[in-house]
Structure 1
């Protein structure tokens, strides 16, 4: 009787566990929003067909067959930042296992600057790493710039495995990122986006707040999960899908939230990247004081001007042999 009683008890626990598991799946499933096309006059704001290329590198991925493409939004005047990145994490050959490319994505200033424009065109000829389009470069147009990045990847670089949108004031540990992506395996080759996930954000209704969004522009009381715009990496198939989803998402001036809204349309959940046992964020959006071995165990760290980036890079490049 004892064995039979234990068998029945274990069976009851197993059935109860199965019922609980199914219930969690059912009740935690977030329904996809209805796909209502955005009015043409609003979609045109972010549509690739609205803008034209001034400078482009259309054959770069075809010639290089990259594993990873780093897409770096900068402005016309950010000459020093571009130089610092080329001297640090944007240089060739940092990961001997794969090919990593970088591209700077630029709009136009509200007021033309022929001198800086001429300098940019010389830069483009020398380095072959600049994409420029004729939208106005401003903070409120970062969503436009991000959607131009997605369209460029979908049009010219779909053969790459991954792309990364990364700001110019970020420290990037290229080798750690490549190793991390290679470890993810086939599951990260489709519908994959990874970074510092923000899952509890609500719209700011205070007009003095930098991230203010009016109820007219965004009436919902919450944002779906999204990755911090400082830096995130994604499988290149998502570039085309996000571009498609943008037809159903009204433009807002918060580019990272906007990408999250497109992911919500697609039913894609962003992934949070952590260190061993989940004790640290690999996409460190806080500002950390430089410490070589700490930085060696992060994919990104936020908040470096060009001079500091170059200064710490000379020390950091020894970290793989000493940490």
Structure 2
């Protein structure tokens, strides 16, 4: 995978980016100081320099939030002891990264014909679990989390994370049902101001305590690493949660409708193998070399199994545990939502289609006024794709008591 190979930067970093990072660092530090004055518990940044993806063999110290003597930590330790007795790792055990390429692949005829941009992915496809830079084992320690909101993001998208925290990702309790939120991040990609960006994300996590970060480069091909590393993390630290919503940081989620859907599935006793979203069936690999989703025949040459759009989907904890187990026996695939479809196929399951999940937008015609009509958002569950500003604006409008929709809208 390309997370092992950082190309030397060409030219100087744009002055505007450096100034922005310095200014952002100042603002984050000031916000942190205010949080400390208010008595908000924070953790200390990692000591010493940060070793990036160019390091082939190194050891990381896992960063944890909260006091070790807190009630959460005690509960977490009890859970750890129980998991050890069941043969499951009690903590994140991928502390040392020493994963060289699989040189035997280079001798195969299909590899010689393979598009060069996929070479590093294939050579390092066996590199599955990575050291954690930021961890929150206490997130589900009380065993009472009803819904875990898990959001894929990258370091630079701070504005999107802020918008999510202030809207559908806000941690709260609804009718006794506790909702928690986590953001999944890798490390800065090639050519980024890695040291400053890493410090910024550490400060951000000190304030909010809702980030999980692994030491692999945040690239498109590595999105599948977020899936498998999260599934392992969930199995260790958070298996007691009841439901998981997993989505991108640029979607609108109507949490009221999402909780209603969960309630219906519980009443119908259909929660055990719940996996629902915007299902895509009879899809085939895209052969257009210009496409972001291009897959050469040498890598995969058959129709895709049914899968859901990765913008947002809902699953039960029981199924998440099954996905973790079966995922360990499958080769990684560079498109993360298709990879989950492959895992479901291995379980002889098909994801459930639900019209409330619109991971391609309300309509694929971006100029359509339907995409900005709040009454649609009021009736749907997930809509993709919105900017941070549009997400905040739509959230306010949809939750305005004066919003009147003449009738339930169907699309």
Larger deviation, residues 53-62 vs 85-94: 85-94
Deviations 1:80-115 (A, max 9, x none): 111111111111337334111110100001345222
> CA shift at 1:46, angstroms?
6.3
The change in CA–CA distance for 1:312 and 1:245 in structure 2 (over 3 A counts) is same
1:90 aligns with one of 151, 155, 169: 169
Residues in 2 aligned to 1:156 and 1:144: alpha-carbon distance in whole angstroms: 18
> CA shift at 1:251, angstroms?
1.7
Q: CA RMSD in A?
A: 2.2
Q: TM-score, normalized by length of structure 2? A: 0.63
- Secondary structure, aligned partner of 1:227: strand
Residue 120 (structure 1) aligns with: 201
The change in CA–CA distance for 1:153 and 1:47 in structure 2 (over 3 A counts) is farther
> CA shift at 1:151, angstroms?
1.7
Aligned residue runs from structure 1 range 169-318, under 5 A? 169-185=250-266, 187-220=269-302, 222-273=303-354, 281-288=355-362, 289-318=371-400
- Secondary structure, aligned partner of 1:309: helix
Residues in 2 aligned to 1:159 and 1:196: alpha-carbon distance in whole angstroms: 26
For these two proteins, the number of residue pairs brought into alignment is 275
- Secondary structure, aligned partner of 1:209: coil
Confirm or deny that 1:130 pairs with 2:211: yes
Paired residues of 1:165 and 1:233 also in contact (CA < 8 A): yes
Deviations 1:25-74 (A, max 9, x none): xxxxxxxxxxxxxxx957974665x3011001101111362111111011
- Extract unaligned runs of 5+ from structure 1: 1-39, 274-280
Paired residues of 2:250 and 2:387 also in contact (CA < 8 A): yes
- Secondary structure, aligned partner of 2:222: helix
Paired residues of 1:45 and 1:144 also in contact (CA < 8 A): no
1:159 aligns with one of 229, 240, 243: 240
Residues in 2 aligned to 1:184 and 1:43: alpha-carbon distance in whole angstroms: 42
> CA shift at 1:320, angstroms?
9.5
Aligned residue runs from structure 1 range 18-37, under 5 A? none
Relative to its length, the structure with more helix (as a share) is 1
Runs of 4+, deviation exceeding 4 Å:
40-44, 319-323
1:71 aligns with one of 141, 147, 150: 150
Residue 12 (structure 1) aligns with: none
Residues in 2 aligned to 1:206 and 1:304: alpha-carbon distance in whole angstroms: 26
- Secondary structure, aligned partner of 2:202: helix
Deviations 1:222-253 (A, max 9, x none): 11111111111111122222222223322221
Residues in 1 aligned to 2:348 and 2:341: alpha-carbon distance in whole angstroms: 10
The change in CA–CA distance for 1:176 and 1:97 in structure 2 (over 3 A counts) is farther
Larger deviation, residues 236-245 vs 163-172: 236-245
- Secondary structure, aligned partner of 2:269: helix
2:159 aligns with one of 73, 80, 87: 80
- Secondary structure, aligned partner of 1:67: strand
Residues in 1 aligned to 2:347 and 2:209: alpha-carbon distance in whole angstroms: 34
> CA shift at 1:209, angstroms?
2.4
Residues in 2 aligned to 1:57 and 1:320: alpha-carbon distance in whole angstroms: 39
Residues in 2 aligned to 1:180 and 1:234: alpha-carbon distance in whole angstroms: 11
Residue 51 (structure 1) aligns with: 130
Paired residues of 1:292 and 1:319 also in contact (CA < 8 A): no
- Secondary structure, aligned partner of 2:313: strand
